[in-house]
Amino acid sequence: MRFNSLDFAVFLPLVFILYWLIPRKKITLQNILLLIASYVFYGWWDYRFLSLIIFSSTVDYFVGIQLDKTLNKAKRKLLLALSLVANLGLLGVFKYYNFFVSSFIDMFREFGVELQYESLKIILPVGISFYTFQTLSYTLDIYKGKLSSTKDALAFFAFVSFFPQLVAGPIERASNLLPQFTRQRNFDIESAKDGMRQILWGLFKKIVIADNCAKTANYVFGNYQDIQGPVLFLGAIFFAFQIYCDFSAYSDIAIGTARLFGFSLMRNFAYPYFSRDIAEFWRRWHISLSTWFRDYLYFPLGGSRVNNWLKIRNVMIVFVVSGLWHGANWTFVVWGALNALYFLPLILTKSNRKYLDTPAEGKLIPSIREFYNILFTFILTCFAWIFFRSNTLTDAFGFIHNMFFFKSMSFSLIYFKYFPFVVGLLIIEWIQRDKQYALEIHSKPIYFRWISYFTVLLIIFFFGVSISSDFIYFQF
């Protein structure tokens, strides 16, 4: 079920009312309802793949209990391996099998050896990368002794499949979300109103900005061979805003929806395009995944408390794996590697934590230096997005080639038609950059709030895209 569908418009109020009709102290009943609702939400897309969530949840539930019971190191390692094999095995089969086998065969072909294979016609289950990482974090935290296992199977299963964040995150940590399933949730009107605002803002970003930008981005990336340089630059910029608004919209709706049920999810985006360097960008973009990789891959590898060569290795591994997490394609690997290259100078010069504050804090406009840094970081990001968006590496290099080597300056202003939306978004986000999300206006007078909501709704009504599309991150 998509957040931007009529199905969800019926589903959400129904579950919301049923949920709060259950007496607050009946946590078990509320969890049963949430679990059923989450499975219906997921099964709406393809019920067969519910078995994968149930499988992943079951393995980690029992592994968690067994890990808590034993102090034997070898046995603990074995249990951890079991969880890793089960979860990464699912990912391996459903997401990477065809990619690795075909890459292997291509490699042999380079040496003149022809191998035959039948590619498995596997459908990628929606959200598999998200929920497997969520359950993995639970087991890894218990293994490291940071968390105790839960014996409440219902709470655990509901935690893994919690519908607001099930298919595209934020990837929650058990330490944050799981306890919320075991304690009493109270209806808080301010929190619910805030949740509604965040949902509205998410819908605006998806239906108006992302889907409109997608029209130009899809057109330009689909026909880059026939399009001249300046338009290709514009296509890359539109894709940058498409993916940002698409993905952050999903997170906004997820966080807002969770708040309606009395849950608090972690922030996933913090105005990433106002970052002043790449390190700051990665602290502001897909925060739940970046911190996941930091905690469960980068730190175990030694992090930055090692010599420079190992630092380089660690950074490369984390970014390349992060690229692969997005999809089984060499374009994602190059995207990850490119970000690692951007990041390395910062970490080697120990300036990766230079910008921890809000850009231009306390000022209306940034200084020239800040503006230059923001712009430069944005250009680097856009360049990397070209690899992310292209279907193949050949397409990506062809796109870049045509960006810089073109025969004529022929272009139409019509390509800029969605630019005012992007500019409007940037202005609002800049003004609200110290808030959790751009429509956080609870402290404003009531007339301002109501006019703002109505304006946002009207813009959706007038300029939204009629044909609703999937969220991009569903495919990851």
Partner 1 sequence: MLQKFLIRFLLYFVLTLVILEISCRIFVDDNYFSRLNIYSDVENSDTISYIFIGSSRTAVSIVTEVFTKTPDKIAINAGRGYGTMQMQYRALEHLLKRNPDALKNCTVFIEAPMGICNTENGKDWVEDNNPHLLIPYINKKVLYEFLRTANESFNMKLNVILLYYFASWRDCFFIREVADVWINYQFEKYENIFLTKNNRGNNNADMLAKGGVKLDPISVKIARKVARNIVPVKINEQTPLQLEDMKSSMLYKINRLVTEAGGQICLFDTPVSSVIREIYVTDIAKNNIKVFSQWIEMNYIPLIRASFSSVDEDFPDLFHLRASRAEEYTDSLLIAYKKFNNHPEYMHEQ
Which residues are annotated as catalytic?
Answer: 326
Which residue of 410, 423, 442, 448 would you call a contact of partner 1, by CB under 8 A?
410
Closest separation in Å from C-beta 37 to partner 1: 15
**Residue 265 DSSP label:** P
Which residue of 28, 102, 223, 308 would you call a contact of partner 1, by CB under 8 A?
223
**Residue 241 DSSP label:** H
AA identity, residue 80: L
- Count the neighbouring beta carbons within 10 Å of the beta carbon of residue 10: 11
253 in helix, strand or coil?
helix
Nearest to 80 by CA among 147, 156, 142: 142
Q: Does 466 bind partner 1 (CB under 8 A)?
A: yes
- Which two tokens mark 377? 């970081």
Which residue of 71, 74, 123, 467 would you call a contact of partner 1, by CB under 8 A?
467
Q: Does 447 bind partner 1 (CB under 8 A)?
A: no
Nearer to partner 1, 199 or 380 (CB): 199
> What binding mask, one character per residue, do residues 351-390 give for partner 1 by CB under 8 A, x or -?
----------------------------------------
Stretch in the footprint of partner 1 (CB under 8 A) among 61-69, 120-128, 160-168, 216-224: 216-224
Which residue of 111, 350, 413, 447 would you call a contact of partner 1, by CB under 8 A?
413
258 close to 356: Cβ distance less than 8 angstroms: no
Closest separation in Å from C-beta 22 to partner 1: 12
Backbone angles phi, psi at 173, to 5 degrees: -90, 145
d(CA 138, CA 453): 38
d(CA 467, CA 28): 39
Q: Does 457 bind partner 1 (CB under 8 A)?
A: yes
Nearer to partner 1, 312 or 457 (CB): 457
Nearest to 212 by CA among 473, 463, 470, 471: 463
Nearer to partner 1, 4 or 322 (CB): 4
* Overall size of the chain counted in residues: 476
Nearest to 382 by CA among 219, 270, 232: 232
Give the N- to C-terminal CA distance of the chain in Å, as an integer.
16
Q: Does 10 bind partner 1 (CB under 8 A)?
A: yes
Q: Does 414 bind partner 1 (CB under 8 A)?
A: yes
Closest separation in Å from C-beta 9 to partner 1: 8
Binding residues vs partner 1 (CB under 8 A): 5-7, 9-10, 20, 187-189, 192-193, 196, 215-216, 219, 222-223, 226-228, 231, 408-417, 450, 453-454, 457, 461-467
